[in-house]
A and B are shown apart, each in its own frame.
Chain A
Amino acid sequence: MEKSKSLVDRLNAVNEYEQQPIPNNKLKGWRSFLGTYAGEHTAGTEFVIGPLFVAHGASAIDLVTGLLIGNILAVLSWAFLTAKIAVKTRVTLYYLLEKIAGKKFTLIYNLVNAGLFCFLAGSMIAVAATAVGIPFDMAMPQLTDVYPNSMGWVITVFVVGAITTLIAMLGFDQVSKFAMVASPWMIMIFIAAALAVLPRLGVTEIGSFWSVAESTIWTGVPLDGQSKFGFWHIMFFAWFCNMAMHIGMADLSLLRYAKKWEQGFSSATGVFLGHFIAWIASGILYSLFLIESKGSLTFAPGPIAYSAVGAAGAICVVIAGWTTANPTLYRAGLAIQSINPKWKTWKVTLFVGLFTTIAACFPALVMRLLEFVALYGLILMPVGAVIFIDVYLLEKLGLKSNYAEVKGVKLNWAVAITWVITLSLCVLINKLFGVEIFFLGLPGWFIAVVVYVLASKLIQKK
């Protein structure tokens, strides 16, 4: 039945209930959310983030405690912020944003989102390319690389990018189904790879793990040219790496199907499998690589996983990268298509795929993934703050919520001003006080709240 659907039908299916609240008989239970979150958060990025913590000199105790607390805060954000609003409004982020901020703002937001999606997909194409290049003895990128280091790398990235783009153009349904099938297997491979290499690190019984973890795996010493990560870096990164989804409210689209807001807690499966076990596992693999390569600066998840568990590891890197890149590319295409719905989806996706593949040629996209992920969340965060205030506070202050819809305007300047001022002040805090990007989300959220309330008062008085 699904196979016979045209692309237009599939696109229509994606937009189901986008312009209206979800009917009661379409709501989903716990099992659906537990599975979705577990699958979504064990992805290609996990092969990069865990090793980058090692490269940034995280200590074992900082890593474990930082991840535990950060992940708990992320789950609480999903439940108390996103899920509560999702259940209250039962519409997508885009529809809610259109009512609050207007069509013009939503268009700009979509474009920014699309650009960020492209870079994220690009980094995953690059990750997959490191595994595809193994049989060809391709020169792998280095931790300090910004530009492509060989023609072989560029060709491999283009091959992976072309296949990813082609599939995004033709078979999104099949990819999402394949990703669902791959998810439990990927989690197994992550855990198995880490377990299988532990004896090579000197761990032969569970009791000796912690001492090896402290002395050999997460030593607390950053690699040359890498900044030092402490507890706060890890905690804030774990909390904010999906900031766009929880505090930024992108997951309203998913959680609006929840029967009750408590189902937001099902995000725990995603963060504790993907952002705890998988990050720790990939960190262990990278640590072993560093020891056996005598501190090589090569940074290539493909060969690292292949060395640990053979072909299954390399396949896991390709599938993880590909299943993350593909839907991301597709979403970027849809976001750009919103500028002009008459544009053919396949043409937009082709253009987005080409742009993404060119970006993927630059290894800096992978090597600076931590900073990029933090930036991604930060850029989209003010919109989440606006939605939170609009839903809970504005009417209590005697102001109108859903202002753009009520007044019939295409651009609610209060939202635009909030976005620009919040991000400008975050840049200022970063430049003047040296506050790193990983920490800016928290003050940024409060800035956005204050600016939106003041701007709304000013604009709605006119």
Chain B
Amino acid sequence: MKLLLKIISFIGLGLCIVPAILVFGEHMEASTCKQLMFLGTIMWFATAPSWMIKKEVPSDD
């Protein structure tokens, strides 16, 4: 479950950057990029807190 949530989080994070790279390369419309980035934002915030907050202040000890 945790792994699945992590995968969704990182797909969300990817959706926040990859569309912008495609817009830069003129392979995607800006409007599509905006929608995908919003979707990525929702995916990140819906899933990342569940595994990031539990791992707060990682200790290297």
Which residues of A line the B interface, CB within 8 A?
25, 27-32, 35, 177-178, 180-182, 184-185, 188-189, 191-193, 195-196, 198-199, 203-204, 309-313, 315
21 sample A-B contacts, Cβ–Cβ < 8 Å, listed by A number: A25-B61, A28-B61, A177-B53, A180-B53, A181-B48, A185-B48, A188-B13, A195-B24, A196-B30, A196-B33, A198-B24, A199-B26, A204-B25, A309-B20, A310-B34, A311-B34, A312-B16, A312-B37, A312-B38, A312-B41, A313-B37
B17 within 8 A of A: yes
Determine which of A31, A185, A195, A204 lies in contact with B60 in the assembled complex, contact meaning CB atoms within 8 Å: A31
In the complex with contacts A199-B26, A309-B33, A192-B61 CB distance below 8 A: no
B57 within 8 A of A: yes
Which residues of B line the A interface, CB within 8 A?
13, 16-17, 19-21, 23-26, 30, 33-35, 37-38, 40-41, 44-45, 48-49, 52-53, 56-61
Q: Is the CB of B34 within 8 A of A309?
A: yes
Q: Is the CB of A309 within 8 A of B44?
A: no
- List, in ascending order, chain A residues with CB within 8 A of B38's CB: 310-312
Give the complex CA separation of A178 and B52 in angstroms: 9
Minimum CB–CB distance for A434 against chain B, Å: 43
- List, in ascending order, chain B residues with CB within 8 A of A32's CB: 57-60
- Beyond known contacts A28-B59, A195-B20: 6 more, CB 8 A cutoff: A27-B61, A28-B60, A32-B60, A181-B45, A181-B52, A310-B35
Determine which of A28, A181, A189, A199 lies in contact with B37 in the assembled complex, contact meaning CB atoms within 8 Å: A189
In the complex with contacts A29-B59, A312-B34, A312-B40, A184-B13 CB distance below 8 A: yes
Minimum CB–CB distance for B10 against chain A, Å: 10
Give the complex CA separation of A457 and B6 in angstroms: 60
In the complex with contacts A185-B44, A312-B38, A192-B17 CB distance below 8 A: yes
Q: Is the CB of B34 within 8 A of A181?
A: no
| Closest 8 pairs (CB-CB, A-B) | A29-B60, A310-B34, A192-B20, A312-B37, A196-B20, A195-B20, A188-B16, A195-B24
Closest residue of B by beta carbon distance from A319 = B45
Give the complex CA separation of A182 and B58 in angstroms: 17
Q: Is the CB of B52 within 8 A of A180?
A: yes
Closest residue of A by beta carbon distance from B44 = A185
Give the complex CA separation of A312 and B13 in angstroms: 12
Give the complex CA separation of A191 and B13 in angstroms: 12
- List, in ascending order, chain A residues with CB within 8 A of B24's CB: 195-196, 198-199, 203-204
Q: In this complex, which of B16, B17, B60 has the most chain A Cβ atoms within 10 angstroms of its Cβ?
A: B16
In the complex with contacts A310-B38, A312-B34, A195-B61 CB distance below 8 A: no
Q: Is the CB of B37 within 8 A of A309?
A: yes
- List, in ascending order, chain B residues with CB within 8 A of A189's CB: 16, 37, 41
Minimum CB–CB distance for A134 against chain B, Å: 14
Minimum CB–CB distance for A35 against chain B, Å: 8
Q: Is the CB of A192 within 8 A of B16?
A: yes
- List, in ascending order, chain A residues with CB within 8 A of B41's CB: 185, 189, 311-312, 315
Determine which of B13, B26, B56, B61 lies in contact with A185 in the assembled complex, contact meaning CB atoms within 8 Å: B13
Q: Is the CB of A28 within 8 A of B57?
A: yes
Give the complex CA separation of A32 and B61 in angstroms: 11
Closest residue of B by beta carbon distance from A188 = B16
Minimum CB–CB distance for B28 against chain A, Å: 9
Give the complex CA separation of A203 and B25 in angstroms: 9
Minimum CB–CB distance for A53 against chain B, Å: 22
Give the complex CA separation of A309 and B41 in angstroms: 11
Give the complex CA separation of A192 and B40 in angstroms: 12
Q: In this complex, which of A181, A185, A312, A315 has the most chain B Cβ atoms within 10 angstroms of its Cβ?
A: A312
Give the complex CA separation of A389 and B22 in angstroms: 54
Q: Is the CB of B61 within 8 A of A29?
A: yes
In the complex with contacts A32-B59, A188-B13, A196-B40 CB distance below 8 A: no
In the complex with contacts A195-B23, A312-B37, A312-B38, A177-B56 CB distance below 8 A: yes
Give the complex CA separation of A192 and B30 in angstroms: 11
Closest residue of B by beta carbon distance from A314 = B38
- List, in ascending order, chain B residues with CB within 8 A of A313's CB: 37
- List, in ascending order, chain B residues with CB within 8 A of A196's CB: 19-20, 23-24, 30, 33
Give the complex CA separation of A311 and B26 in angstroms: 21
Give the complex CA separation of A31 and B20 in angstroms: 29
Minimum CB–CB distance for B23 against chain A, Å: 5
- List, in ascending order, chain B residues with CB within 8 A of A27's CB: 61
Give the complex CA separation of A160 and B49 in angstroms: 23
Give the complex CA separation of A305 and B24 in angstroms: 16
- List, in ascending order, chain B residues with CB within 8 A of A315's CB: 41
Give the complex CA separation of A192 and B13 in angstroms: 11
